[in-house]
Structure 1
Amino acid sequence: MAKATGPNYKVPFKRRRENKTNYYKRFAMLKSGKPRLVIRASNKNLYLQLIEFDKKGDRVIGSVCSKELEKFGWLPKANTPTAYLAGLLITKKIPKNTQAILDIGMATPTKGRILFAAAIGAKDGGLNIRIDSQIVPQERINGEHIAKYAQMLQQQNPEKFNRLFSDYIKHNFDIINLDKKFQEIKNKILNG
């Protein structure tokens, strides 16, 4: 950021200086009059909220943390299959046929990001949101890439496999058949 010099310098809002809010994008989203599907990722978890604007302050219609997937037998990590399942799960907590717009905040919209996988999960669950389903490949959503990598590591470098997938091993989670487990959990969420 440039230093404040001269009488015409305008100091940006605090949340903009902290790189938390882009007020131009936020204003454009609020003008639509639709609720926002807000998706934020941390190192370990994914947070989804359906938020509606109110003059007194934003109102949360429904929210999900990826940790909630443990109830269904899924070991939550910050990966693409977890994001998709969390997107499916939020649709069970909001009214049917809700229209929304995607809000990824200050994140860079890059093809294949887990933020978009969560949005695709919400769309598949019944949320009316505009997003191209080709932005995240289906084999990544299913977790096939993780299962293939784990299988390759288990055969070629068992020590590295044990180090990288130690949390899955500790919880007796079959990482080799991740895509089958994904389908099982997806059906549980959709039917339950």
Structure 2
Amino acid sequence: VRRSLRYIYVSLSKPKIGGDETLLTVSSKILLKYGFYGLKNLSAAYLTGYIAGRLALKKGVEEAIINLGYAWTKRASIPFAAAMGAREAGLNIPLGKEKYVDMSRLRGEHIANYAKYLKEQNIDLYNRKFSKYIELGIFPENLPELFDKVFNEIKKDYGGESNGE
């Protein structure tokens, strides 16, 4: 799992003498197809990890180990959100419970609550803080519903149980 200035990348590689073989790489850029525009956050990591997990299973890969690289050590961070998504997809990845990201955070509930608060208390600050979302026609107080919608669409496209929402 790696993060660039614009995207999150989830790759599966197989170690080989003479150099690793990359089996697949999924970029969070794919989420644009589903109307999901936050491409570097925990939600994007989870959704990208889910897609990578489903593609890995289709290639016959059933288990993986997360490679954190040099920069990742913090619990409940982007690589762990990606690993959670891949686990949700059915890929067996050892991951301690202390590394899990709370689902309410993945769904953006904390942002939605803050947006609702600001909208009631200071509409000018709300408009400034969330101007990019508003420009895209996305209301930040509806982020959890957007996450659920996108996740269900991804499940339809890549396989998996849909919540029916």
Say if 2:89 is the partner of 1:125. Answer: yes
Is 126-135 or 44-53 further displaced after alignment? Answer: 126-135
Matched residues in 1 for 2:34 and 2:76: separation?
25
Q: CA deviation at 1:151?
A: 1.6
> SS of the counterpart of 1:168?
helix
Is 157-166 or 115-124 further displaced after alignment? Answer: 157-166
Q: How many percent identity over aligned positions?
A: 36
Q: Corresponding residue for 2:163?
A: none
Matched residues in 2 for 1:141 and 1:56: separation?
38
Matched residues in 2 for 1:133 and 1:189: separation?
25
Q: CA deviation at 1:127?
A: 1.1
Q: CA deviation at 1:126?
A: 1.2
Give the unaligned 5+ runs of structure 2. 158-165
**CA deviation vs aligned residue, 1:22-51 (integer Å, no higher than 9, x gap):** xxxxxxxxxxxxxxxxx0123432111011
Q: Corresponding residue for 2:6?
A: 44
Q: CA deviation at 1:152?
A: 1.5
Alignment TM-score, normalising by the size of structure 2 = 0.84
Q: Of Structure 1 and Structure 2, which has the larger fraction of its residues in helix?
A: 2
Among 69, 80, 84, the alignment partner of 2:42 is 80
Give the unaligned 5+ runs of structure 1. 1-38
Q: CA deviation at 1:56?
A: 3.1
Q: CA deviation at 1:121?
A: 0.5
Q: CA deviation at 1:64?
A: 1.0
Say if 2:75 is the partner of 1:111. Answer: yes
Which structure has the bigger radius of gyration? 1
Among 156, 162, 172, the alignment partner of 2:127 is 162
Return the letter of the residue paired with 1:58.
D
Return the letter of the residue paired with 1:115.
P
Matched residues in 1 for 2:61 and 2:20: separation?
21
Alignment TM-score, normalising by the size of structure 1 = 0.73
> SS of the counterpart of 1:109?
coil
Matched residues, number: 154
Say if 2:131 is the partner of 1:173. Answer: no
The equivalences for 1:147-158 within 5 A come to 147-158=112-123
C-alpha RMSD of the superposition: 1.7
Return the letter of the residue paired with 1:42.
S
Among 71, 80, 105, the alignment partner of 1:140 is 105
Q: CA deviation at 1:97?
A: 5.0
